[in-house]
Amino acid sequence: MFAQEFTNKFPLIPTEDEGRLNDSRIRENFIVKVFSFYRLQNLFKENFSIGGLVNFSYATEVFAPGS
C-alpha cells in the first residue's frame, strides 16, 4: 500500500521489489538507476548545459551499457 502510493506520487524515483534484489543483475541495474537519478537531479539543479547532459549520457552508458 505505501509502496504503491509512493510510486504514484514520485514516479521518476527508481524503485524495486525487495525480493527481486536477490538477483544480482536486477540489483546492479537498480543501483545504476539510483545513482543515475541522483546525478541527473544534480545536473538540473546546478548549471544545466548541453555539455553536462552529454557527459551524463556518456557516463550512464559506461556504467550501464545497453540500458
**pLDDT at residue 3 in the model:** 86
Domain that residue 51 falls in: 2-63
What does the pLDDT look like over 10-43, one tens digit per residue? 999 999 999 999 999 999 999 989 988 988 888 8
63 — pLDDT class (breaks 50, 70, 90): low
Within 10 angstroms of residue 43's Cβ, the number of other Cβ atoms is 15
Domain total in the chain: 1
Q: How many CA atoms lie within 13 A of 30 on its CB side?
A: 14
